[in-house]
Structure 1
Amino acid sequence: MNYKDADPEGSVCSQPTASQTGENFHQKKVTFARSKHVTKCQNCQLQDLQLKKLTEQIQNIEELLISFQQQIEERNQENKKQNQKQEELLLELQIISEKHLQELINNGILQKQNIEFRKEILKLEQEISKSQCQNLELTKRSSELKFIESLIQMFMSFHSKVQFPAPPQLKQVWKWLKQIVSEYAILKQKELLLHK
């Protein structure tokens, strides 16, 4: 079958024989093609139907391919969007994890600083308590020293500088004080006995 022998409506004719050549064949072909009442052979009609079915199938396949291509493009766009979302989520996750890690590091540093501060505070408290104890002892000593000095002055006021040219020792002052107190006690007892 030759597609050149097809009429304008798309029907296929039989091939020419060996006697149909040249101008005679050409004239017959033109008249055959122009005639409206052409009877087709059964084989040609079947082939025409098959061609129509094939073209319909090809069109259907082309439509399916186009729809598949559109679906693939849509899926590709969806995949791109999902990939972008995943990348954004991964970026956010990375930022959050870095912040969390930094917070953990900062917390560790703060805990170390806290421990060091507590040690410093304990040392300061110990030093303060030591200094308070020393201050108490100093005030005690200073009051004791004042008392001793006043006793010595009292002793010196009762005795002349000739008897004691240098300040007396504490032992001497203590003996003198004991003697005065014992004499006072004796006088007090006598006074009580006289009043009875």
Structure 2
Amino acid sequence: MKKLIFLVLIAFKMNAQDTIVFPKIDLYKRNVIEVSYGKPLGQLSNKYESSITTALYFRTKIGKRQFVDFGAELSGIVNGNSISYKEGAENIQLDGSKSAFFLGLRYTRFLIQSKNQNFHLESNSGIGWKYLHYSKPEAEAYDDIDLKPSLNTIAVSQGLKLVFHGFGLHCSYQYAPYDLFNSQVEKNFGGSSINFGLSGSWNF
């Protein structure tokens, strides 16, 4: 009798263990790094030749296949051209830009995702603050002028990214109207550019 009760208890315990439901862990990639090559378009193509950008974003899930990415992008400008900049009644030729910076967020949505979640196509719609760095000429004539030129504006972007096992190819269009808040530079300064490159995503 004791042996029978013992066997029943063991069977009950095994059955109880089988019915325990553990919550599914959401293993989406939270950290995103991107490296891209950019080409200015339209009027902006007169300001520099190209750019090399490194971006870091931190991803937060807000819905099924929907995310918000917070991050920053740092760009090195290749062959920046000098521009005309108004300082009072004087027009100054600033040295070509050497860097740019973007800080903002983007709404990301998985348009297509495989059943095993190893492959997906995502769209990225971004908005943020863009800064294009310039410096005054190094000539002695400008030594006594307290000039700190800066071009700041609101930037928007739209991109697509193809991702497989955390590694991806991406392409995006960005519009940053630099003359919107800067009356010192020429009208229609330009602000359109296109970027394409590689990305990787992981969890700590």
- Give me the TM-score of the superposition, normalised by structure 2: 0.22
Larger Rg: 1
- Give me the TM-score of the superposition, normalised by structure 1: 0.22
Q: Which has the higher contact order (CA 8 A, sep 6+)?
A: 2
